Structure 1
Amino acid sequence: MAPIELPTAVDVQLVKNLSSSLNDYDALVLVATDLNEITPYLDVAVTKHLQSFREVNSSFHDDITVSVHENVPGKRLVFSPTGPVNRDYDDVRRYSDATLAGVKKAIGIGAKAPLVASFGSTRYRQANLVTLLAALEATYVPLQVREEVPDRKTKVNKLGFFTGQASPDNEYDQRLIDYARAVEFGRAVGRDIGGADPERMAPPRVAEYVQELFGKSSGIKVNVIKDKKEFEKNYPLFAAVNRAASVVDRHHGRLIFLEYVGEGEINTTALFVGKGITFDTGGLDIKAGGHMAGMSYDKCGAANVTGFFKVLSELKPKQFKAIGVLAVARNNCGEEGYTGDEVITSRGGVRVRIGNTDAEGRMVMADPLCYIKELAVKEVNPHLFTMATLTGHVIRAYGSNYTAALDNGPARSAEISQKLQAAGDEVGDPFEISTVRREDYAFIADESETADVLQCNNLPSSGTSRGHQFPAAFLARVSGLDKHGLDSAQPLRYTHLDIAGSGGELPQSPTARPIPALCQMFIADRVLH
């Protein structure tokens, strides 16, 4: 087997003056809201050149302008406007959209070392970070292209980055670059695992990738469980989903455990479970009518948990601890498959009646969630999360660009979802907040004497009232987190993140969200200030 082509983040050089020698670059990409705001930073001839375009193009501040000019690097000049940023519905994504389009245009016309100029914003304090993250995103090359088409392994050789905004101190811009590159490392890992096809990232190969990624002096401990008997003993719901695939060695599931412990006295612990369904056929409740295509992206939850740990390995924030479990399995349809009406006892001792084998995501995560709950009671300031492309209903509710955050009682009292939403708004990684209600717990209560909990109804989530809320109740109830609510002597904060909308879909690469928001919430202040 060929060696794994692990991702890299392109080198970024800080440029302090657009009037200095820029011979190391071959394109200038200007990202701005209005030409007038950037003229103090530009060569006079370049300013006049762009002003002449503005005079004849009424859409100048809405469309990308590409031109040739002797006074810019490589003679390639790209003006990529954000458009208005001050309306009620505008947000910092105006900067990321403009930058992504501008850098892609520069690459498309042959640039290999574009210089991106960002001028900040009085309204959006992280506009420069958002701009740089978008520029880095434009340089990503998918894993299977890097491995199978070597001459397309890279899109650019380097980036330059200029900011026209005053910095808090002389070293801040360089720290910002280092931080953005680390976040992009993590996002590239998320895209690699989430976006690779079902064979390239079958469960054993996900484990190989993760072990290679963190195998050296990364600061991340990795442990992999693949024994079927251990699954059945300690993770019985995961084992049920894995049954049909386990008869094929290359599809047999893996539970992958990650741990990071920063230097100093720990003051915060984040614990994650990521859904890693490498391909979802629906199981015996098979996805018919063409709905199976794209289901290789059902592993983006586990992919993005891995990406978050990659950021930790790069930045090594102090006084912070993280524990992660990647629940990696393939939901196959076969004679060994788990079936509707089965009753399975979870790790937490809850008897679960299967209602729909296509609700496998909550199944593979519930026992690992119980496991991290057992750890959390001994950790300092713990925050528990599940991350999954879990329901079509969340897309029906919020559209395709938003992560839904659902808190249990202790997390809601601590306003965890509100803090995530605020962090995400700063970096263009937006959230919508949902609430788990009593109706959701009532929905999952099994009406028989045989089982405690009904796993799911047999309708699509998008056709079920509260179709993305009741799965969060299932996860809390089956893991035993419902015994650590507001009325508990030992409450635990738990937030479920449904990324079915925000995670991305084919043919585009996965978005690797919500890695930027999680980094903004847990890491940024530890390394940027």
Structure 2
Amino acid sequence: MFSKKLDKSTAVTDGTAWELTRIPVIDSDQLLSIKFNSSKTDDSSCIAFLILSHENELIDSSIPICESLKEYVLKTKNEKKDSIFECDLHKLYWAWTDEKSICDNNNLMELAYKFSAYLRKHEAKVESLSVFIDLVTSSAPFMTFLSRLFFESYISTLYKSEQKEVNFPKIISFSASRLTISEKDSIEILETAKKLALASIRMKNLVEAPPNVCHCEKFLDYVKKEVPKYKNLYLTYCDENQCLDAGMGAFYSVSRASEHGGRLIHITYKSGNPTTKIGLVGKGITMDTGGYSLKSCESIMTMKYDMTGAALVTSTILAIASLEIKDIEVHAVALLTANAINEKATFPGSIVKAYNGKTIEILNTDAEGRLVLADGLTYLSNVFENSPNSYIIDVATLTGAMAICLGTEIAGLFTNSDKLTSFLYQASKDSGENIFRMPLHEKYKSLIKSKIADLSNIANSKPNASSMTAALFLQEFVGDKIHWAHLDIAGVSWRGSKAEAKAWGILLLYKAVLELSGTKQ
């Protein structure tokens, strides 16, 4: 079935560039047109960010700036919390907050977003950066803050007539009042932060790519060019016809109308002697018209973002490979296609057979994400041989109801495993990317039962608990011994007013993989 394989020893000759009409050719290297400045610096080109606690009575002796500036900063101590102050003459910016917020990675992520505006303000004028976070007792918050700061400081000009290279400053120091960080640890923190920031930027550029640029063939070309750059990374892939021949009728029912068909992309990273298998499955609908269940003109405009899950799992595993994490086995499966309309498109009311043999009545062609994920989940469950020491996390912009329920800052978590839940909650706490566990109520399974097939792809009555019934549908395609979680990221994936990809989930999945594998990084 999957005869096309690629590893580091295989020459890549068909990694074609991403072609755009009237826009210069953009290849995978340009997607990361970023340099971290390594030149020597002086004080005139340095910018400083301070995160200070009201509760620290000794703060005046621990702020790492000169006395004249320290006095200026301390005058603002009683001002409104979380406000950002600036002394522009010295390129100095600081925020007062409370001790609890400083220890909250979610708050640090928010401050990184706010501080990034000032980093963008000075652009190439800044060669070095100094960061001080008061009261923290471990180095992890620095990695979280720095990786997000770098990412939020990035502005893409890929589709502008004049493209601009982005230069990030070299970190010359980061410190805390209660923590001493060795030079070795500093280098490791910085390198990890850089690589996770680059993964977030990779994801952002993939998600924001127009649908005439980032279709499934070009996505695969990009992956084929990236995989050989890293050790212990392997690629297997197949097209929609190979998937159909293997029995993936659910995936094929969506991809059959797409001009470029579909691609199942399976990337594996394996090093050392891993004790667990971790799988990441991502929905990759490069453009979602809704099919014959056509979307409205307003909602269709953002549907290039419907491949966020595929971009997330791909970018995450490439980041893990770049960090060369030891004793770990991670699989990323991305299912890429467009939900298009033509004479080949699947009609509402059609019945298809999924990879696990179950039949599905397609009542709504705009509920296509769960169809492609269904075959992807069965595929990876088979790869894992339904092992109880295996974990699968699927991520998808699946239901608009999730955004209504949890808004734009929290992703919905549906799972069959309390054990996996505890790992994911710890990863959420460490990353500052919020999740909330939603119920999987067994009684609601009756809502996805079809009268003429095994299942229907939407609930057969209202009210239909649409996010939950979507998750219950996916659960039908997961091996019964596997720890499984579904993350519905429809609400958290982009900033609505700006239609800007947030690259939500890179830090969460990175932390989750470390937690699940028992790896300390």
Q: Are 1:139 and 2:153 matched, yes or no?
A: yes
**Equivalent-residue separation in structure 2 for 1:523 and 1:434 (angstroms):** 24
> CA contact under 8 A between 1:172 and 1:528: conserved in structure 2?
no
| 1:189-228 paired onto structure 2 within 5 Å | 189-228=202-241
Q: Are 1:184 and 2:197 matched, yes or no?
A: yes
**Equivalent-residue separation in structure 2 for 1:527 and 1:233 (angstroms):** 35
Q: Deviations over 1:198-244 (max 9, x none)?
A: 12211111111111222334432122312525435432111110122
**Equivalent-residue separation in structure 2 for 1:236 and 1:49 (angstroms):** 67
Q: Deviations over 1:382-421 (max 9, x none)?
A: 101211000111111111111211112xx23x2x123212
Q: Deviations over 1:418-462 (max 9, x none)?
A: 32122211221111011211123211111x2x3111111489xxx
> CA contact under 8 A between 1:190 and 1:512: conserved in structure 2?
yes
> CA offset at residue 24 of structure 1?
7.8
Of Structure 1 and Structure 2, the greater strand share is in 2
**Equivalent-residue separation in structure 1 for 2:170 and 2:215 (angstroms):** 32
> CA contact under 8 A between 2:151 and 2:198: conserved in structure 1?
no
Query: 1:476 is matched with which residue?
Result: 475
CA distance change for structure 1 residues 254 and 515 in 2, over 3 Å: closer, same or farther? same
In the alignment, residue 311 of structure 2 is paired with which amino acid?
A: A
CA distance change for structure 1 residues 219 and 508 in 2, over 3 Å: closer, same or farther? farther
> CA offset at residue 139 of structure 1?
2.9
Query: 1:86 is matched with which residue?
Result: 100
Query: 1:377 is matched with which residue?
Result: 385
Query: 1:11 is matched with which residue?
Result: 36
> CA offset at residue 380 of structure 1?
8.1
Query: 2:86 is matched with which residue?
Result: 66
> CA offset at residue 25 of structure 1?
3.6
**Equivalent-residue separation in structure 1 for 2:134 and 2:199 (angstroms):** 24
Secondary structure at 1:86 match in 2: helix
Q: 1:152 aligns with which of 156, 164, 174?
A: 164
Secondary structure at 2:500 match in 1: coil
In the alignment, residue 452 of structure 1 is paired with which amino acid?
A: D
CA distance change for structure 1 residues 379 and 178 in 2, over 3 Å: closer, same or farther? farther
Q: 1:50 aligns with which of 63, 73, 82?
A: 73
> CA contact under 8 A between 1:136 and 1:181: conserved in structure 2?
yes
> CA contact under 8 A between 1:167 and 1:173: conserved in structure 2?
no
Secondary structure at 1:272 match in 2: strand
> CA offset at residue 503 of structure 1?
1.6
Query: 2:111 is matched with which residue?
Result: 98
> CA contact under 8 A between 2:287 and 2:306: conserved in structure 1?
yes
**Equivalent-residue separation in structure 2 for 1:343 and 1:378 (angstroms):** 27
> CA contact under 8 A between 2:264 and 2:334: conserved in structure 1?
yes
Secondary structure at 2:112 match in 1: helix
Percent identical residues? 19
Secondary structure at 2:257 match in 1: helix
| 1:403-482 paired onto structure 2 within 5 Å | 403-408=411-416, 411-412=417-418, 414=419, 416-446=420-450, 448=451, 450-457=452-459, 464-477=463-476, 479=477, 481=478
Q: Deviations over 1:43-84 (max 9, x none)?
A: 1121123345x28xx646443222244xxxxx32222x1534
Secondary structure at 2:50 match in 1: strand
> CA contact under 8 A between 1:279 and 1:297: conserved in structure 2?
yes
**Equivalent-residue separation in structure 1 for 2:150 and 2:33 (angstroms):** 11
Query: 2:264 is matched with which residue?
Result: 255
Q: Are 1:77 and 2:67 matched, yes or no?
A: no
| 1:213-362 paired onto structure 2 within 5 Å | 213-231=226-244, 233-245=246-258, 248=259, 251-263=260-272, 265-362=273-370
In the alignment, residue 465 of structure 2 is paired with which amino acid?
A: R
In the alignment, residue 467 of structure 1 is paired with which amino acid?
A: S
Root-mean-square deviation over aligned CA pairs: 2.9
Q: 2:50 aligns with which of 30, 36, 39?
A: 30
Q: 2:132 aligns with which of 115, 118, 122?
A: 118
> CA contact under 8 A between 1:113 and 1:160: conserved in structure 2?
no
**Equivalent-residue separation in structure 1 for 2:334 and 2:401 (angstroms):** 23
Query: 2:514 is matched with which residue?
Result: 523
| 1:484-503 paired onto structure 2 within 5 Å | 484-485=479-480, 491-503=481-493
Query: 1:386 is matched with which residue?
Result: 394
In the alignment, residue 499 of structure 1 is paired with which amino acid?
A: I
In the alignment, residue 78 of structure 1 is paired with which amino acid?
A: Y
> CA offset at residue 372 of structure 1?
0.6
> CA contact under 8 A between 1:383 and 1:493: conserved in structure 2?
yes
Range that drifts further, 5-14 or 513-522? 5-14
Query: 2:494 is matched with which residue?
Result: 504
In the alignment, residue 33 of structure 1 is paired with which amino acid?
A: S
Stretches of structure 1 lacking an aligned partner (at least 5 in a row): 16-20, 70-74, 486-490
In the alignment, residue 244 of structure 1 is paired with which amino acid?
A: A
**Equivalent-residue separation in structure 2 for 1:128 and 1:230 (angstroms):** 44
**Equivalent-residue separation in structure 1 for 2:287 and 2:509 (angstroms):** 26
> CA contact under 8 A between 1:278 and 1:297: conserved in structure 2?
yes
CA distance change for structure 1 residues 513 and 183 in 2, over 3 Å: closer, same or farther? same
In the alignment, residue 174 of structure 1 is paired with which amino acid?
A: I
In the alignment, residue 278 of structure 1 is paired with which amino acid?
A: T
Q: Deviations over 1:325-384 (max 9, x none)?
A: 110111112222112111111111101001110000001111111111111127682101
TM-score, length-normalised on structure 1?
A: 0.84
CA distance change for structure 1 residues 339 and 495 in 2, over 3 Å: closer, same or farther? same
